[in-house]
Structure 1
Amino acid sequence: MSLSRRASADGPTAGSSADDVPDADPVDVARSVCLSQLAMGPRTRGQLATVLRRRGIEDDVAAQVLDRFEEVALVDDAAFSENYVQRRHASSGLARRALGHELRGKGVSEAVVSEALETLDPDDELATARALVAKKLPSTKRLDVESRTRRLVGMLARKGYSGGMAMRVVREALAAEKELDDLERAFLEGLDGELSDAARVGE
């Protein structure tokens, strides 16, 4: 038997083409991809499913692997979401609305999102809103009260706080900072009512 025929019979030789190597098991590939992702940090099932789909893994294979990862607690959307809510609220001051939006974007189910958001104490949320305003307040001192109010309320709104809560917190902060004249007080009271009504309509 010639050398080339003997090498072919015994298996692929160094430098042989990829076509000579059997295709990898899709389950093994999916498992390897998931482990690689998890090595960089916790991931939701939805995030891992998206990565697997991009890598060309069939949905049924992905479901099989992800089911197994959930069984052994390598993937746990509930634990991930609860930790995410507490961490992001503490680090960025995000309110429930913004946190829920981010979790849904990571593929977390509505039921799990709702449960995770329930772990955020309303008193903590209010305290964080007040701290955010207190930090931002000094940089607005050169503005008139209307501009200050709208800027501070807008800041809280972008972080997911309702219009009613944002207005109350800003109004408290401005009132505590100085004595308001009649026009300023009338403006705050009027805007307070407008935003509270808008918040009730949107809820």
Structure 2
Amino acid sequence: MTAPGGDRWRRTRPRDELEPPPVGAAAEDAEPDAEEVARTIALRQLTAAPRSRAQLEQSLAKKDVPAEVAARVLDRFTEVGLVDDAAYADMLVRTRHSERGLARRALAEELRKKGIGPEVAGAALEQVADEDEEAAARHVAEKKARSTQGLDRQVRRRRIAGVLARKGFAPGVAMRVTDEVLAAEGAEDGAVWDDDPL
């Protein structure tokens, strides 16, 4: 847009408007309070998804929040129940086991990565009984067996055992459950499988 005189007309603020005023709230130090910043970051993280204390500490460190400030804020959050590693570990074990079929070994590794200590992790893992783990292994194996129908039996056996191993089941459990699932499938079809090793 050009002004009547032909000069380009620009909307600019006078230089003195860009400087903070000499009096009033804007004239005071505008540096935000470190604890307020830490609280905001932590609350934003917790609103998005549950987090362990260690995860929140990492988030705050990435935002250059001083360690002592982070500790004060997280101590307060722990006092009021916003941060609870035991409850977080229980929730993670329960959901990962039921939704993903993870074995205790895989769950323990995931808890370790989330910064949950061995004592708290051990207590959370107690909610997965041996029979629960066996049922989860069988469910995973049956699901994989359905998706591999039509393939060679040994290929299916390797794939089913492989998915169980990735979910943290011990090799002996993975092979036994795989063979039981395939045997039951063969019995339903009237087929007889041999027990060739991998």
For 2:24 and 2:176, the matched residues in 1 are separated by 79
> How far does residue 10 in structure 1 lie from its aligned partner after superposition?
3.8
User: 1:103 and 2:103 equivalent?
Assistant: no
Letter of the structure 1 residue corresponding to residue 162 of structure 2: G
Letter of the structure 1 residue corresponding to residue 86 of structure 2: A
User: 1:71 and 2:71 equivalent?
Assistant: no
> How far does residue 54 in structure 1 lie from its aligned partner after superposition?
0.6
Gaps of 5+ in 2: 1-16
> How far does residue 142 in structure 1 lie from its aligned partner after superposition?
2.5
Residues 11, 141 of structure 1: alpha-carbon distance in 2 compared, 3 angstrom cutoff: closer
Letter of the structure 1 residue corresponding to residue 135 of structure 2: A
Q: If you compute each CA radius of gyration, which structure gives the higher value, 1 or 2?
A: 2
| SS of corresponding position for 2:121 | helix
Of 12, 15, 29, the match for 2:26: 12
User: 1:180 and 2:192 equivalent?
Assistant: yes
Residues 48, 140 of structure 1: alpha-carbon distance in 2 compared, 3 angstrom cutoff: same
Of 126, 140, 151, the match for 1:132: 140
Match of 2:33 in 1: 25
Structure with more of its chain in helix, by fraction: 1
Residues 11, 92 of structure 1: alpha-carbon distance in 2 compared, 3 angstrom cutoff: closer
Residues 40, 138 of structure 1: alpha-carbon distance in 2 compared, 3 angstrom cutoff: closer
User: 1:55 and 2:63 equivalent?
Assistant: yes
Instruction: With the length of structure 2 as denominator, give the TM-score of the two structures.
Output: 0.81
Match of 1:91 in 2: 99
What is the alpha-carbon root mean square deviation over aligned residues?
2.1
Residue by residue, what CA displacement relative to the aligned partner does 1:117-153 show, whole Å, maximum 9, x if unpaired? 1111221111111111111213323333322211110
The worse-fitting range, judged by mean Cα deviation, of 37-46 and 69-78 is 37-46
Gaps of 5+ in 1: 14-19, 192-203
For 1:124 and 1:11, the matched residues in 2 are separated by 61
| SS of corresponding position for 1:12 | helix
User: 1:163 and 2:163 equivalent?
Assistant: no
> How far does residue 11 in structure 1 lie from its aligned partner after superposition?
4.6
Q: Which 4+ stretches in 1 moved above 6 angstroms?
A: none
For 1:99 and 1:166, the matched residues in 2 are separated by 16
> How far does residue 22 in structure 1 lie from its aligned partner after superposition?
3.7
Match of 1:195 in 2: none
For 1:36 and 1:59, the matched residues in 2 are separated by 18
Match of 1:120 in 2: 128
For 1:156 and 1:72, the matched residues in 2 are separated by 40
For 2:88 and 2:120, the matched residues in 1 are separated by 10
Match of 1:197 in 2: none
Match of 1:196 in 2: none
For 1:141 and 1:79, the matched residues in 2 are separated by 41
For 1:47 and 1:132, the matched residues in 2 are separated by 30
